[in-house]
A = this chain, B = another copy of it.
Amino acid sequence: MLTDSLAAQLYAEICRIPLIDSHSHINPLQAASRSLDDILGYHYYTELAHSAGMSKAPLAAHVDPRERVRIIIEYMDRFDNTAQYGWFVDIARTFLGFTGERITPADATGLCETAERLMAQPDWEEQVLRKSNIEKVFLTNDFDDPLEGFDTNRYVPCLRTDDLVFHLDKPEVRQRLAKATNVEVHSWRDVQTAVTKLFEHFTRKGARACAVSLPPNFTPTAAARWEGTTDPTVRSQAIFWLLADHCRAFKLPFDLMIGVNRRVYANGVYQGQDLFDQRTSLIQYAELFNSFPDVIFPISVLTSVQNQELASYSWIFPNVITHGHWWYSNIPVYVERDTRARLQAVPKTKQIGYYSDMYKLEFGLPKFNMYRRILAGVLADDFVRAGSHSETQALELARLLLRDNSRRIFGV
C-alpha cells in the first residue's frame, strides 16, 4: 500500500513497536468481537450506511444480526471510498481470511460464519492483541465502574467524567453517584467528598488518567461556584475545576477532548448524532493551563482547523500534550497534515501520536495501520530525505509517539 520504498521500510519497522493505546472504549470484560455484527455495529458503519440512505430499521434490537450485517454491507457500495470502509477490509483480510477485492452482500454470510467460528476461540482476544502488537489499552470508565474482573495492567482504567461535569443535576446520575460513593449530593461539600472518593477508588484500581469530552463553547474558570446558582454552565465549570484539582492532587493526567456538540442530528443512529462548531479556541483553556502547572493535559481537538492552536499551545505550555487524531479529524488527509505540523513544532517528548478510540479490539490494527503508514511517509519525506534524521533516529521518534511518551506521561 506504500509505493515509496523508504516509507515502506520505515513502516515495517514501525509495526514492530509494541503499542500503548491511550484512549479506547473497550469493555475489558468483552474486549474482542464475537460476531461480524459486533464489528459493523461500530457507529462509523451504521452512520455512514444511514447517511447513504439506509433507514434505522435494520439497527433495531430485534433484527437478526446476520440480516443486519447483510444490509449494512449492501449499503457499503455507497461508501466504499471512505477510510472507514478501508478499516473493515483490513479487518476482514487480517482476521477473517478474506482474500477478495471488495466486500459485497454475497460475502456477508460467509464472513459472518467465519467470524463466529474464529471469534469463538478461547484465545481470540490474545490473538487479536498479538497480531495488532498492542500491549496496553486505556479504557473509558464510567465513574461508577467497579473496575473488577480484568487485568488493569493490560486494560488501564481511565475515569471518564462527562456525566459528572454535564449531567450531575439529573436524578439518575445522582443516584449512580450515591451508590458508587455513599454520598448523597446536596451541597458543594458533598460533591467534593464524592469526587474525592471516586478518585480514591480509581487510583486504587490503577487508573492512569481522568478524561472528559467538552463542547466547543466550554470555558473552564476558577471563578465558577456550584452553590448559589442553577445555571448548568456555571455548575459544569465548577465541577470541571474540581476535577482538575483532583487530577493535581492524585497526579493524574487530565485528557481533554475538545469540541463536540452532542445530538446535532437528533434522529441519527446511536452514536451517530454528534457534530461540531469549528468556532472554538484553546484560549478558552488558558486560565486552566496556567492554574494547574503540575497537571498534564493531553489534548484532543475535533477539527484539523484547530490543530495549529494545539501545536502552538503545546509548543508554549509545558503541561499541554498533543493527543492523537480524534474522530472527524481521523482521516488520512487531516492526520497527515496535523502530524507534520506537530512534528515540526512541538517537542517530540510532548506528543502522543495516536489512539484507537475503538469499542472492539479488532479495530486497533486497521486504525493504527492507517496512522503508521502516514507516519512512515512523513518521517521519510520530512526527516530522513530532508537530511535531518537517519532512519534509526526517525524510528526512535516513532517509538516516542507510539509508546514511550504514553508510558512516561501516564506512568504505565
Contact = CB atoms under 8 A, between A and B. Distances in A.
Interface of A: 1, 3, 47-48, 50-53, 78-83, 86, 89, 101, 261, 264-268, 272-273, 275-283, 286, 289-290, 293, 303-306, 308-309, 311-318, 328-329, 331-334, 337, 340-341, 343-350, 382-383, 385-390, 397
Contacts of A293: 267
A390 B385 CA distance: 26
B283 A276 contact: yes
Given A48-B315, A315-B328, A331-B345, 14 more contacts: A3-B385, A51-B318, A51-B350, A81-B343, A82-B344, A265-B317, A267-B290, A278-B309, A304-B308, A308-B329, A312-B328, A333-B337, A333-B340, A334-B341
A385 B373 CA distance: 13
Contacts of A386: 1
A316 B268 contact: yes
A311 B397 CA distance: 32
A56 B53 CA distance: 51
A78 B275 contact: no
Nearest to A378: B333
B308 A328 contact: yes
A332 B382 CA distance: 9
Contacts of A337: 333
Contacts of A344: 81-83, 331-333
Contacts of A328: 308, 311-312, 315, 345
A383 B89 CA distance: 14
A279 B281 contact: yes
Contacts of A314: 51
B316 A272 contact: yes
B47 A315 contact: yes
Which of the listed residues A268, A346, A385, A389 has the most CB atoms from chain B within 10 Å of its own CB? A346
A53 to B, nearest CB: 7
A412 to B, nearest CB: 19
Contact of A309 (B80, B276, B317, B340): B276
Which of the listed residues A53, A273, A312 has the most CB atoms from chain B within 10 Å of its own CB? A312
Nearest to A320: B51
A326 B277 CA distance: 21
Contacts of A346: 79, 82
B318 A52 contact: yes
A53 B318 contact: yes
Contact of A305 (B305, B333, B383): B305
A344 B337 CA distance: 14
Contacts of A383: 81
B265 A316 contact: yes
Given A52-B318, A81-B348, A316-B272, A286 B309 contact: no
Contact of A317 (B51, B79, B278): B51
Which of the listed residues A47, A89, A280, A345 has the most CB atoms from chain B within 10 Å of its own CB? A345
B273 A316 contact: yes
Contact of A82 (B51, B313, B347): B347
Given A289-B265, A305-B305, A388 B276 contact: no
A89 to B, nearest CB: 8
Contacts of A265: 286, 289-290, 316-317
A251 to B, nearest CB: 16
B47 A316 contact: yes
Contacts of A83: 344-345
Contacts of A268: 316-317
B350 A52 contact: yes
Contact of A278 (B289, B306, B387, B388): B306
Contacts of A48: 315, 347
Nearest to A390: B101
A216 to B, nearest CB: 8
Contacts of A86: 388
